[in-house]
Amino acid sequence: MQGLSAQVERLRSSYQGETFKREEAFRAADLELARKRSELTPEEFARERRRLEQQAGELQRESQQRKKEIDQIFAQGMAQVQTVLLRVSQDVATERNLDLVLAKATVMLVRPDLEITNEALDRLNELLPEVSLAEPEPGTTNDGTGG
């Protein structure tokens, strides 16, 4: 789980870095347009303003899409973990002759001899030491830069 979280956080940081660079470029273009306003006709200024607003909209949509992609990648990783954890929990329950296994979050008290959390996590880590995440497709942005 910690590895999965770390991988997703690295991906999120990478995306945030890219987005920050693009936002900075957009702000610079906006400042440049404001500086050139007196040199442009009202029609030219309006056209350039619309172009910048379109870019801002695209940047926002891409940012939302990337967040959605990261959320989906995390969900897929969690599904891998949950699949293995279910199998491990079934194995431990069978070995200990347990009829019921509950998520720890739903249980207030339990006898120590019925607690299987640590054993299940140890086995999970043995069977799934690393979660392989699907990488987002390169070039998913709409700006033609491929990234």
Q: What is the share, in percent, of the chain residues with pLDDT greater than 90?
A: 73
What domain range includes position 34? Answer: 2-127
CB 125 within 8 A of CB 3: no
pTM of the model: 0.69
* Beta strand segments in the chain, E: none
Pseudo-torsion of CA 61, 62, 68, 71, nearest 10°? Answer: -140
Confirm if 84 and 124 have CB atoms less than 8 A apart.
yes
Q: In the predicted model, is pLDDT for residue 61 greater than 70?
A: yes
Write out pLDDT tens, residues 4-56: 888 899 989 999 999 999 999 999 999 999 999 999 999 999 999 999 999 99
Tell me the average pLDDT across 63-90.
93
Selected residue with higher pLDDT from 107 and 134:
107
The tally of domains found in the chain comes to 1
Kindly state whether residue 141 falls inside one of the protein's structural domains.
Answer: no
96 lies in a domain?
yes
In a domain, 137, yes or no: no
